[in-house]
Amino acid sequence: LLFTVSLLVALQSCQCLAWKPCPVVGWGAESQQVVAGYSDGTVRVFSISRTEMELKMHPHAVALTAIAYSTDGEMILSGGKDGLVAVSSPHTGMTIRILAEHKGSPISVLQCTRKEYRDFGVEGGELWLATSSDRRVSVWASDWLKDKCELLDWLSFPAPAGPEGLGGLPPSLAAFCPWEPGTLVYVGFGTQKEALFYSLHKKQVVKKIPLPYFATSLSLSPAARFMAVGFSERLLRLLRCPTSDAQDYAGHDDTVHLCRFAPSGRCLLTASHSAVLLWELTGS
């Protein structure tokens, strides 16, 4: 059974979207809420079961470019075209914190993951990262109930001189590695075409995987050691880690600007300008 929930807002475009995570006790069930960021700087929470908007917030003065729920679903992190990151409560509608470390460069990725309480010597049960288009990644440890948010690491990746502005460059993308806790993966415009594995414990790049082109999308499987990378050359590459064995797939008519593994890891969704493809991963 299919039904639609309209995210259409007059004179505004939806720029980013995130599902609210399910509680641990309800793993496998589908979340009934999504949050969307719009071109007017607003954040809207929608109920899937009631097919209606539940909450509207306005934490940004410019268009949103990235959005995510905290791991427990109790906070919403949103990033704007101006590089500001806002932390807002979906319960009160209030913005509780504005982070300006990336100011001046659009936020391209926001992602949250769980951590051990005393891991890295800081309090909090959550790690989250923000990536901006100037090839910088900030990593934070947070405990929102105690209003704690501590900068854990700040990464800046070098690159040769590019064209004026950042619009023509490949995106800067980062993601926590599900199978190597305390590690994140970064792809973006740089001196080499590669995926970099950075250890938050060792404070250094611990592995490099060469890529045929600069990446335009990235996703890591939560269930197996697979990484999917999309390129503007209409190509999708599936990498098995840590061996770096690669399989390439065609089928897109334009830049592969989105790839996302399903929570089960058995399916992969990819999108280009006019095509959305669903891939099923078979075998071990």
CB 219 within 8 A of CB 200: no
Average of per-residue pLDDT across 243-252: 89
Range of the domain at 218: 183-283
The answer to the question of residue 174 being in a domain is no
- The answer to whether residues 72 and 31 touch, using CB atoms and an 8 Å cutoff, is no
- Phi/psi for 95 (5° steps) reads -90, 120
Enter the pTM of the model. 0.89
Q: Hey, what amino acid is at 127?
A: L
Q: What is the CATH number of the domain that holds 240?
A: 2.120.10.30
- pLDDT value at 57 more than 70: yes
User: What distance in Å separates the CA atoms of residue 174 and residue 211, rounded to the nearest whole number?
Assistant: 15
Look at residue 185 in the predicted model and tell me its pLDDT. 97
In a domain, 255, yes or no: yes
How many Å from the N-terminal Cα to the C-terminal Cα in the chain? Answer: 31
pLDDT in tens, 180-192: 999 999 999 999 9
Two structure tokens written together for 246: 């690669």
**What is the pLDDT confidence band of residue 31, given thresholds at 50, 70 and 90?**
low
* 130 part of a folded domain: no
Domain annotation covers residue 143: no
pLDDT top residue among 114 and 5: 114
Per-residue pLDDT at 127:
95
Question: Domain tally for the chain?
Answer: 1
Query: Which helix (H) or strand (E) element contains residue 284?
Result: none
pLDDT tier at 3 (50, 70, 90 boundaries)? very low
Quote the CA–CA distance of 111 and 165 in Å, as a whole number: 25
Q: Using 50, 70 and 90 to split pLDDT, how confident is the model at 26?
A: very low
80 assigned to some structural domain: no
For residue 284, the model assigns a pLDDT of 54
Asked whether the predicted pLDDT for residue 234 surpasses 70, the reply is yes
Three state DSSP letters for 48-99: CCCCEEEEEECCCCCCEEEEEECCCCCCEEEEECCCCEEEECCCCCCEEEEE
At 91 the pLDDT is 92
Q: Is residue 245 part of a domain?
A: yes
Instruction: Look at residue 136 and tell me if it is in a domain.
Output: no
- Establish if 85 belongs to a structural domain: no
Residues 8-20: tens digit of each pLDDT? 566 678 889 898 8
